[in-house]
Amino acid sequence: MASLEVSGLSVGYGPVRALRDVSLRVPPGAVVAVLGGNGAGKSTLLRAISRTLRFHRGAATGGAVVFDGRALDRMNAAQVVAAGVVQVPEGRQVFARMTVGDNLRAGALGARGGRKENAAALARVHELFPVLAERAHQRAGLLSGGEQQMLALGRALMARPRLLLLDEPSLGLAPLMAARIAETVREINATGTSVLLVEQNAALALRLASIAYVLDVGEVALSGPADELAASDEVRRRYLGVVDETAAEDAVRAEAVAPTLRRWTP
Ligand SMILES: Nc1ncnc2c1ncn2[C@@H]1O[C@H](COP(=O)(O)OP(=O)(O)OP(=O)(O)O)[C@@H](O)[C@H]1O
Ligand SMILES: [Mg+2]
CA dist 10 to 40, 49, 151, 252, Å?
13, 12, 32, 37
Predicted confidence at residue 235, as pLDDT, reads 81
Predicted confidence at residue 251, as pLDDT, reads 60
Ligand nearest to the CA of 215: 1
Ligand nearest to the CA of 34: 1
39 Cα–ligand 2 center, Å: 7
Between residues 175 and 259, which one has the greater pLDDT?
Answer: 175
Mean pLDDT of 154-160: 95
Our mutation pick for probing the ligand 1 site, out of 11, 13, 53, 88, counting the most ligand atoms within 8 A of Cβ, is 13
In percent, how much of the chain has pLDDT > 90? Answer: 75
- Classify each residue of 103-121 as buried b or exposed e, where b means 16 or more C-beta atoms within 10 Å of its C-beta: bbeebbeebeeeeeebeeb
Task: Specify the DSSP class assigned to residue 9.
Answer: E
Between residues 260 and 43, which one has the greater pLDDT?
Answer: 43
Ligand nearest to the CA of 58: 1
188 Cα–ligand 1 center, Å: 28
Predicted confidence at residue 264, as pLDDT, reads 44
Q: Of the candidates 173, 247, 170, 250, which has an alpha carbon nearest to the alpha carbon of residue 205?
A: 170
The DSSP code sequence of 133-171 is HHTTTSBGGGS-HHHHHHHHHHHHHTT--SEEEEE-TTT
228-256: pLDDT as tens digits: 998 888 888 877 766 555 655 666 666 56
Can you tell me which atom of ligand 1 is nearest the CA of 200?
Answer: 25
Mean pLDDT of 198-203: 90
102-111, 127-136, 161-170: lowest mean pLDDT where? 102-111
Predicted confidence at residue 234, as pLDDT, reads 81
Rounded-to-10 torsion of CA 146, 205, 75, 17: 110
Predicted confidence at residue 2, as pLDDT, reads 85
Our mutation pick for probing the ligand 1 site, out of 42, 87, 170, 214, counting the most ligand atoms within 8 A of Cβ, is 42
Predicted confidence at residue 232, as pLDDT, reads 86
Ligand 1 interacting residues, C-beta cut-off 6 A: 13, 16, 18, 36, 38-44, 56-58, 90, 200
Can you tell me which atom of ligand 1 is nearest the CA of 57?
Answer: 1
107-154: pLDDT as tens digits: 998 777 788 989 999 999 999 999 999 999 999 999 999 999 999 999
Can you tell me which atom of ligand 1 is nearest the CA of 45?
Answer: 18
Our mutation pick for probing the ligand 1 site, out of 10, 20, 44, counting the most ligand atoms within 8 A of Cβ, is 44
Q: What value does the mean pLDDT of the chain take?
A: 90
47-97: pLDDT as tens digits: 999 999 999 999 999 999 999 999 999 999 999 999 999 999 988 889 999
Can you tell me which atom of ligand 1 is nearest the CA of 90?
Answer: 27
Minimal-distance CA residue to ligand 1 atom 24? 38
Predicted confidence at residue 237, as pLDDT, reads 80
14-48: pLDDT as tens digits: 999 999 999 999 999 999 999 998 999 999 999 99
Euclidean distance between CA atoms 160 and 266, whole angstroms:
24
Q: Of the candidates 201, 168, 174, 210, which has an alpha carbon nearest to the alpha carbon of residue 31?
A: 210
Predicted confidence at residue 111, as pLDDT, reads 75
One-letter amino acid identity for 143? L
Residue 87 neighbours by CB under 8 Å, 6+ apart: 46, 47, 49, 50, 52, 156, 164, 165, 166, 167
60 Cα–ligand 1 center, Å: 14
Can you tell me which atom of ligand 1 is nearest the CA of 47?
Answer: 18
Mean pLDDT of 101-111: 90
79-91: pLDDT as tens digits: 999 999 999 998 8
